Amino acid sequence: MKLLCALLVFVASASAVKNYAGYQVLRVVPQDMEQLQRVHDLYNLLEDTVDFWKEPTKVNRPVDIMIGPNLAEDVKIELSRRGLDFSIFVEDVQTNIDNERCTDCVNTKAGFDYTVYHTSDEISQWVTDFANEQPLVTEITIGESYEKRLIKAVKISSGGSKRVIYIQGGIHAREWISPATMMYMANQLATTYDTDPEVKLMVDMYDWYIVPSLNVDGYAYTWSNDRMWRKNRQPNDGSFCVGTDLNRNYPYEWGGTGASPNKCSDTYFGATPLSGPEVFVVHNWLQQFSGNMALFIDFHNYGQLWLYPWGYTGNRNTPQPDKTDQDTLAKAATAALEAQFRTSYFVGMSGPDMYPASGASEDYGYGTLGVKYSYVVELRDEGRYGFNIPESMIENSGIETFEALKVLGTDPLN
Among the listed residues 100, 253, 378, 391, the single catalytic one is 378
What is the C-alpha to C-alpha distance for residues 246 and 267, in angstroms, rounded to an integer? Answer: 8
Q: Using CB under 5 A as the criterion, what x/- string covers residues 127-166 for binding Zn ion? A: ----------------------------------------
CB of 368 to Zn ion, least distance (A): 19
DSSP label of 369 = S
Between 61 and 200, name the residue whose CB sits nearer to Zn ion. 61
Between 54 and 172, name the residue whose CB sits nearer to Zn ion. 172
CB of 25 to Zn ion, least distance (A): 16
Identify which range of 152-160, 169-177, 208-216, 274-282 contacts Zn ion by CB under 5 A: 169-177
Selection from 206, 215, 146, 144 nearest residue 178 by Cα: 215
Q: Has 378 been annotated as catalytic?
A: yes
CB 354 within 8 A of CB 348: yes
What is the C-alpha to C-alpha distance for residues 56 and 131, in angstroms, rounded to an integer? Answer: 42
CB of 232 to Zn ion, least distance (A): 13
Instruction: Give Cβ neighbours of residue 357 (< 8 Å, ≥ 6 apart).
Output: 247, 248, 257, 258, 259, 267, 311, 312, 350, 351
CB of 116 to Zn ion, least distance (A): 21
What is the C-alpha to C-alpha distance for residues 386 and 379, in angstroms, rounded to an integer? Answer: 10
Q: Using CB under 5 A as the criterion, what x/- string covers residues 290-329 for binding Zn ion? A: ----------x-----------------------------
**What are the E-state strand segments in 266-362?**
293-301, 305-308, 346-349
For Zn ion, how many residues bind (rule: CB under 5 A)?
Answer: 2
Between 294 and 354, name the residue whose CB sits nearer to Zn ion. 354
What is the C-alpha to C-alpha distance for residues 195 and 188, in angstroms, rounded to an integer? Answer: 11
Between 227 and 406, name the residue whose CB sits nearer to Zn ion. 227
The separation between CA 278 and the C-alpha centre of its own chain, rounded to angstroms, equals 14
CB 242 within 8 A of CB 235: yes
Between 139 and 353, name the residue whose CB sits nearer to Zn ion. 353
Which of the residues 13 through 72 are near Zn ion (CB under 5 A)? none
CB 327 within 8 A of CB 347: yes
DSSP string, 178-210: HHHHHHHHHHHHHHSTTT-HHHHHHHHHEEEEE
Residue 172 is a binding residue for Zn ion (CB under 5 A) = yes
Identify which range of 55-63, 167-175, 339-347, 348-356 contacts Zn ion by CB under 5 A: 167-175
CB of 278 to Zn ion, least distance (A): 14
Selection from 156, 160, 163 nearest residue 292 by Cα: 163
Between 206 and 252, name the residue whose CB sits nearer to Zn ion. 252
CB of 299 to Zn ion, least distance (A): 9
The secondary structure of 20-57, three-state, reads: CCCCEEEEECCCCHHHHHHHHHHHHHHCCCCEEEECCC
Q: Which spans of this chain sit near Zn ion (rule: CB under 5 A)?
A: 172, 300
For the annotated catalytic residues, the residue numbers are: 378
